[in-house]
Amino acid sequence: MNVKLIGITGGSGSGKSTVVKRIEALSSECLLIEQDNYYKSAPQVSNENITAVNFDHPDAFDMDLMLDNLLDLKKGKSVMMPQYDFVTHSRKNEMVRLDPKKIIILDGLMVLYDERIRNLLDLKIYVDTPADIRFIRRLKRDITERGRTMESVIKQYTEVVRPGHYNFIEPTKEYADIIIPEGGYNENAMRVLFSFVSSILHEEDQ
């Protein structure tokens, strides 16, 4: 199988998930890998000390394990992917088996940061969305889905998320093949992306 990797990155709340869902809807031959599952465990973190660990720093991720998994999938091998619990900030005991598919979508904050991973990608996408929109989306998500308080979300955003975005995420925009303003609702950009994905799905395996 000729496996192709698509990397999708952008700030927290930029709309990466919308882009991913629209690609996934094209074919069952798409496999999603969320970089969030490769966070290192930090069970000492709570609402009260949310900035004790900087989750918006490259060191928060197990990049080596993610690289190993991607290399195996590119070779047509199945892998076991970790699962992460954002309420306890810990890696779960169970893992998920992933079987290779024609298109693998890697979605996450630091997808383009590590040169080793960046060099594996066949298409690099950066979702570019204004900071105020990203913050509002993150605030709503963290409160409703991750058991966070408004105060802890604001504290984390101002102290680590915002600096992390400008230090580690936005600079990777220069590596992108496609920059998508406003995410999956930018129809012109999505048409270009769909064309690329369709060409992969219809090409003969090498």
- Residues pairing with 33 in the sheet: 106
Q: Where are the domains of the chain?
A: 4-202
pLDDT band for position 55 (50/70/90)? confident
Mean pLDDT of the residues in the chain: 90
Options 3.10.20.600, 3.40.50.1980, 3.40.50.300, 3.30.56.10; CATH of 4-202 = 3.40.50.300
204 has a pLDDT exceeding 70:
no
Give the pLDDT confidence of 139-181 residue by residue, as tens digits.
999 999 888 899 999 998 999 899 999 999 999 999 999 999 8
Residue 206: its pLDDT value, please?
46
* Residues 37, 81 contacting (CB under 8 angstroms): yes
- pTM attached to this predicted model: 0.87
